[in-house]
Chain A
Amino acid sequence: MRDMGNNTELVKRMRRKTLRGNLLNYVIVLGAYAILQTMVMTGNISSLLKGLLVPLCVYVIAALSLNLVVGISGELSLGHAGFMCVGAYSSAFFSNAVGTALPDILRFILAIFVGAAVAGLFGILIGIPVLRLKGDYLAIVTLAFGEIIKNLLNVLYAGIDSNGLHFSTKSAMDLGMEPTGRQIIKGALGISGTPKNSTFTVGIILILITLMVVQNLINSRAGRAIMSTRDNRIAAESIGIPVTKYKLLAFSISASLAGCAGVLYAHNLATLNTKKFDYNTSILILVFVVLGGIGNLTGSIIAAVILTALPEMLRFLNNYRMLIYAIVLIVIMLFNWAPAALDMRSRLRSRIFKNRGSGNGKEEEQNGNA
C-alpha cells in the first residue's frame, strides 16, 4: 500500500520548484542592487536615475503588496495609494515628533513599524465593512476610501508641545499649542522637514522583506486558505475555511506593506503632501500588477521598475512621452490578453517549435496568466 518513495520525490520536486521561483525574485532584486549600487559608487549614474532609485523601491513594494490582494486574494482594490498615504503620514509624523530624541537608525526603524502598523490597522478597519462587496463594487468603494483618506488628511493639523500632541481639523491656530510647540502636520501643506532617512539600500531591504512576507505567506497554511477563497469561495467554506477572516488577513497585510512603501516615500522627500496619493496612483500600481501578470511577483517587480523608469527615461520626448506610454499600455494589454492575440501567438509558437506539440504553447500561456 505504502510507496512513499516516489511520492516524497514528487513533493520534494514541487518544493524545489517553489524555492527556485522564490529565490529567483531575491536574486533579481539583489542583482539589480549590486549593479545599481556599483554605478552609484563609481559615479557612473545619471542624477536622474539616481533620484529614481528610492521611488523605484517604493513602487516595487506597492506593486508586490497590491498583488497580494489582486492576484492572491482575488479582490480588486483601487485604494492602495490611500494605505501608502496613511503609512507615509503616520511615520513622518512619528519621525518629526521624536526628532532628535532617538538616534537616526532606531527612529527610522520605529517609523517603519509605525507606518506599517497604522496602515495595517486602516486595512482592518476598512476591510471589515467593504470586503463583503465584490468585484467592481469593491473597486469603487476602495477608491472612495482612498479619496476620503486623502481628503481628511488635507484638513488635518497636528503639533506637539510640552503638553503632548494636539490635533485639529480647522486650522493651525486651533491647535492651541504653547508658543514653543512645533507644528508638524499643516493641513493641505502636509508635513515638511521629515528626516531624509530613505536610501536605496533601505529600499532594497524593504523590498526583500516584502518579498519574504508575500512569498512565505503564499506557501503557507494561511496562503492556501487565501487562494482557496479566490478560486472558489463556496468550496472553501465547504472545507471549513473562514473566508472573511482570510480575505481580511490578505487585505490588512497588503495594506501594511503598502504602508511601508509610504514610509519609504515620506522619508525621501523634504515635503510630504497628499497630492501624490490620489486614485491615479492606486490605478498606476494596479497597472503594474496587471501588466506584470496577476499573481506573478516577478512580473510585478519588473513591471513596476520599467513603468516607473520609462516615463522618466523618455523625458526627451517631452509632451509625447505620456501619449506613447498610453498607446504602449493599450497595445500591450491587447497583445497579452485578447483571446485572438493569444491564439495567434500560440499558433506562431507551435509553428516555430513544431516538434514540441501544438497544445504546449497555449497551456503555458494559461499558466502564465493564472
Chain B
Amino acid sequence: MSFLTYLKDGISLGSVYAIIALGYTMVYGIAKMLNFAHGDVIMVGAYVVLMLLTKAGVPGILAVLIAMAVCTVLGITIEKVAYRPLRKASSPLAVLITAIGVSYLLQNIALLLFGADGKTFVDVIKLPSLSFGDGALIISGTTIVTILACIIIMVCLTLFVNKTRQGHAMQAVSEDKDAAQLMGVNVNGTISLTFAIGSALAAIAGVLLCSAYPIVTPYTGAMPGIKAFVAAVFGGIGSIPGAMIGGILLGVIEILSKAYISSQVADAIVFGVLIVVLLVKPTGLFGRNIQEKV
C-alpha cells in the first residue's frame, strides 16, 4: 500500500477520534472531569444502530438518528444521576471514580445483553468509493462520510458555541459556574445540554468507528475513548479546533506507526507523542487561550 493510502486511513480514523474528542473536550471544559464513560457511550450508539438495522429493519439514516437520541438521553441521565450530586464534592477524584463505575456499568449491561463475542457491524453507509490514479488510491464511501462528518460537526459546533445564546452560556459556565449562575445562566441546563451534545456526537462516532472496523464488543468504546481524550489534551483541552486537529494527528500517527514501524508499538508511539507535546507545551497545542474554553 502506498503512503497516500495510509495517510487517508489515518485521517479517516483520526476524524472518528476527532468527533469523540470534540464531545470529550466540551464535557471536560464545562464539567472539569475526566468522563471515563464517554467511550462507552460510543459503544452504546453502535449497538443501538446494529440492533435497529438487523432486528428491526429500520433504514440506516433513521437508525443513526435514533441512536443519537438514545445516547443523548443516556448522557443527560448519567450526568444527572451520577455526576451532578458530586459536583461540589470535596475531592475531584470522587466524580472520576463514579465515572469509572458508570463505564463498568455500561460495559456490563452490554455484556449481559449482547455477550462478550464481537458482533459484525453492518454497512450503514452505502456510498460508492472514489478511485484516483487508476486505483492507486481508493477512498471508500465510509471514509468520505467520516471526514465530511468531522468537518461539518466542527464547523457547526464552532458556530454554535460562538454565535448562539446557549453557546455563550456554555462558555460562561466553563469559565466560572458561580458567576454564570449570578448572571442568570441556567447552569444545570447548560451542563445537561453539553452532555447531550457530547453524547450525540459519541453516537455518530460509534457508527463511523464500527463502519470502518466492523466488530462491536462491549469494550469497543474504551480504548477509542481514552485515545480521544489524549487527542483532546493533545490539542489543548477545551479548544474545538484543538480537539479536531489533535484527533486527526493522533489517527495519522497511529496508522503510520502501524504501517511503517510496528503495529504492536503503535499505541506506545501515540502516547509517547502526547507526553512530548505536554512536556513542551503543558496546555496542549491550542490550549493557550483560556477564553476559548467551552
- Chain A residues with a Cβ under 8 A of chain B: 70, 76, 129-130, 132-133, 135-137, 139-141, 143-145, 147-148, 151-152, 154-155, 188, 279, 283, 286-287, 290-291, 294, 319-320, 322-323, 325-327, 329-330, 333-334, 336-341, 366, 369
CB distance from A2 to the nearest CB of B (A): 40
B275/A130 in contact, CB under 8 A = yes
- Chain B residues with a Cβ under 8 A of chain A: 28, 34, 36, 82, 85-86, 88-94, 96-98, 100-102, 104-105, 107-109, 111-112, 226, 229-230, 233, 237, 262, 264-265, 267-268, 271-272, 274-275, 278-279, 282
State in angstroms the CA–CA spacing of A152 and B264 once bound together.
8
With A148-B272, A154-B264 as given contacts, are A330 and B89 in contact (CB-CB < 8 Å)? no
State in angstroms the CA–CA spacing of A319 and B109 once bound together.
9
CB distance from A167 to the nearest CB of B (A): 15
State in angstroms the CA–CA spacing of A222 and B13 once bound together.
48
With A135-B92, A151-B264 as given contacts, are A323 and B85 in contact (CB-CB < 8 Å)? no
B94/A337 in contact, CB under 8 A = yes
Given A330-B101, A339-B85; 10 other pairs, CB 8 A cutoff:
A140-B34, A152-B265, A286-B100, A322-B107, A323-B108, A325-B108, A326-B108, A327-B105, A334-B82, A334-B86
B230/A333 in contact, CB under 8 A = no
| A-B contacts, 5 listed (Cβ < 8 Å) | A136-B28, A147-B271, A291-B97, A325-B104, A330-B98
Chain B residue at smallest Cβ distance from A70: B93
Chain B residue at smallest Cβ distance from A329: B101
With A283-B100, A334-B98 as given contacts, are A294 and B93 in contact (CB-CB < 8 Å)? yes
B265/A137 in contact, CB under 8 A = no
Majority secondary structure of chain B interface residues (helix, strand, loop or mixed) = helix
Chain B residue at smallest Cβ distance from A151: B268
User: Which A residues touch B105, using CB under 8 A?
Assistant: 323, 326-327, 330
State in angstroms the CA–CA spacing of A320 and B112 once bound together.
7
CB distance from B228 to the nearest CB of A (A): 11
Chain B residue at smallest Cβ distance from A170: B262
State in angstroms the CA–CA spacing of A319 and B262 once bound together.
36
User: Which A residues touch B86, using CB under 8 A?
Assistant: 333-334, 337-338
State in angstroms the CA–CA spacing of A143 and B98 once bound together.
18
User: Which B residues touch A323, using CB under 8 A?
Assistant: 105, 108-109, 111-112
CB distance from B248 to the nearest CB of A (A): 19
Q: Pick the contact of B85: A152, A329, A338 (CB < 8 A).
A: A338
State in angstroms the CA–CA spacing of A47 and B267 once bound together.
38
Chain A residue at smallest Cβ distance from B266: A151
Q: Which 4 A-B pairs have the closest CB atoms?
A: A144-B271, A326-B104, A151-B268, A337-B94
User: Which A residues touch B88, using CB under 8 A?
Assistant: 339
B94/A333 in contact, CB under 8 A = yes
Q: Pick the contact of B233: A140, A152, A330 (CB < 8 A).
A: A140
State in angstroms the CA–CA spacing of A296 and B265 once bound together.
38
User: Which A residues touch B82, using CB under 8 A?
Assistant: 330, 334
User: Which A residues touch B265, using CB under 8 A?
Assistant: 151-152, 154-155
